[in-house]
Chain A
Amino acid sequence: MGTFAAIGIAGSGLDVYRRWLDAVSDNLANINTIRPTGEAAFQARYIVAESIDNEGGNSGGVQATGVALGSAEGRLVYEPNHPLADEQGYVRYPDVDMSSQMVQLIQAQRGYQANAAVIDRAKDMYSTALTIGRN
């Protein structure tokens, strides 16, 4: 996509930030998912982003190459009245930090907005180019 490369590049950015939003949303949704100590805790999802080479005809951009998972160990919390508690009264909470996830939520939102702004500006610029010499 040579003519509208900026739109395609910013679109790849939107894609990655949308995936990040999905991951944060998953982590926050499972922040209180309790498992018995005999099982693995919910593992936080982290998006792995990688730049696309902008040489050899590629226009560049970013892509999500995969997902990295957080600790399966989680943290042990003493809740003896919990139905899933073991003999010592412990349950396994996921190792997800609420404040860190909220920060990532804002980062994902702002990144998404920035890429959307790039698309808008790029469209404005292409439209400006079309008005050259009109009068």
Chain B
Amino acid sequence: MSIPPISGISAAMPAAVTQPPQTMPVSDGGAGFGTSLASAVDGLQAMQSTSSALAIKAVTGDLSDVHDYTIAATQASVAMELTATIRNRAVDAFNEIMRMQA
């Protein structure tokens, strides 16, 4: 004997929700994020080495433009904040999942 669905709710809900959930591809999601983070860190490192090269130029008197150094330092600092934020959000998400208990 089949139980009829509650018609009021099934009419209000979108069709996709009442369907059984599709299996999501989770195969290389972790590796993809790791690769992106690693390349972001590489970019950050390049910015910071540009900034420190300009800092060396500034103290040795080879800097032609003062703003070149301050712009590079600003960019490196903002990129650092961005990378740290991404990493913190990822760790937060991971911790949230780890807190899931029966």
Contacts and interface: CB of A to CB of B under 8 A. Distances in A.
Interface of A: 1, 3-4, 7-8, 11, 14-15, 18, 116, 119, 123, 126-127, 130
A127 B75 CA distance: 11
B71 interface: yes
Contact of B78 (A8, A11, A15, A126): A126
Given A7-B75, A119-B74, A123-B74, A18 B67 contact: yes
Contact of B82 (A11, A18, A116, A130): A130
B81 interface: yes
Say what secondary structure dominates the interface of chain B: helix
Classify chain B's interface size: 10 to 19
Contacts of B77: 123
Interface string B53-97: 000000000000101100100110111011001000000000000
B67 A14 contact: yes
24 contacts: A3-B79, A4-B75, A4-B78, A4-B79, A7-B71, A7-B74, A11-B67, A14-B67, A15-B65, A15-B67, A18-B65, A18-B67, A116-B67, A119-B71, A119-B74, A123-B74, A123-B77, A123-B78, A126-B78, A126-B81, A126-B82, A127-B78, A130-B82, A130-B85
